[in-house]
Structure 1
């Protein structure tokens, strides 16, 4: 169940980003107000002020400010991403053994669960380890989305041919969709196979991004493009090392120290017992 929820996180993130919490009841954009609660005060507000600060340094270029802040935020959550990928790799390596356990104890659910936990323990794998980094990253990334969407100075700014507060009908949506598709295309084959039926949903993402980008202010697809390019480069370095697969220790291979010690003592006693007979 946990693994299924883990695979659905991109869809959950997309739905949250498309939520109505950024707008007022009359359809207007809700301004950032620290008095509104913890969300605006500690997450959205500071990121909005940081965007303004970087824009001031870069001569008021909010398009560059979004790029720099996106890179900084993504680097800050990079350790969590690496931890998530490491956990994912470990889980992939255990799949053959998990399949064997499932087949061997298909009529004994309790025994199947016990053997599965033994396998995780013997390989120092925590099945929940891949979920926590994602749930920690999500509030930060969603807060950055809100900060970009709800900062008035960004909506009033022009960058290249773009008016960041109004939708761009074609160019940005196409680039956003293409970079989303490329980001998913460059995922490891093993990870895509592990996702199973989710592959179809993942392929729909570029189409969803395209239509959302056509209706959202240009600042948002610009942010998505920056983020996608960062992810593409990040995944290139994470997955380019296709070296050794983690060594899997099966539950049956592990022997308790007491048994090993006992076996060792018995063998010594056996040897010493033979000596007097000579």
Structure 2
């Protein structure tokens, strides 16, 4: 169940970013007040601006570099989350067999099942919440970076490749690539979902496509770079790690 909660959290954050992000247009500065602005959004905005100076004022290259830097920084958390998810999959058959031996409509039977379930977790050294905690740490950072891009005024005044960073891509190339890479990432990371949850793989790309068409190209660039990184990361995590050892 916790796995589905994570998916719903990701979808909810995406909805928040696509709807609320467009409304948050006030430029971020060192004088911006509030804990969120002062300690999360502004430091990342400053980092984007600083890195741009290292690339001769190219905010496009800065967004690429900072995106990769942030993704690499949170990679250990992502790996921990992945390992926890794999561990839950390994013990799932045993948990299903245990659950089938109890009448879940009976409150007393439910309590017995809960105790047995905790014993199984303890037996294999699995913490079901270990997959959630890394995500809760990652999301504020990624959301702050999103808003830093949205609210750094200098970004909108620059161009990169064929597009203006402050305007939607006139050729729709970035939105399409952003949606396509989101779909590929979903196929890699959500392939073990039940059939009734498979629609999630298609919901996210559609949301990203609609948002990228309407929003500044700087955000589309961020999504594309982040997605490509996640695809490579997912290939090695989900494609190379065939099994996980649990203590018994």
Matched, 1:30 2:29: no
1:134 correspondence with 2:131: no
Trace 1:79-228 onto structure 2 (pairs within 5 A).
79-107=76-104, 108-169=109-170, 170-187=172-189, 192-194=191-193, 196-228=195-227
Residue 155 and residue 179 in structure 1: after superposition, are their counterparts in 2 closer, same or farther (change >3 A)?
same
Match of 2:37? 40
Question: How well do the aligned residues superpose, as a CA RMSD in angstroms?
Answer: 1.8
Task: Quote the Cα distance in structure 2 between the aligned partners of 1:60 and 1:38.
Answer: 29
Aligned to 1:70: 67
Residues 1:82 and 1:242: Cα distance change in structure 2 (over 3 Å): closer
Partners of 2:83 and 2:244 within 8 A in 1? no
| Structure 1 residue ranges, 4+ long, deviating more than 6 angstroms after superposition | none
Q: Secondary structure at the match of 1:31?
A: coil
Alignment of 1:236-275 (within 5 A): 236-247=235-246, 249=248
What TM-score, normalized to structure 1?
0.82
Give the structure, 1 or 2, with the largest relative contact order (CA under 8 Å, sep 6 or more). 2
Which segment is superposed worse, 232-241 or 119-128? 232-241
TM-score, normalised to structure 2, is 0.91
Q: Which one has a bigger Cα radius of gyration?
A: 1
CA 1:21–1:247 in 2, change beyond 3 Å: closer, same or farther?
A: closer
Structure 2 counterpart SS, 1:42: helix
Q: How far apart are the structure 2 equivalents of 1:206 and 1:243?
A: 27
Unaligned 5+ runs, structure 1: 250-278
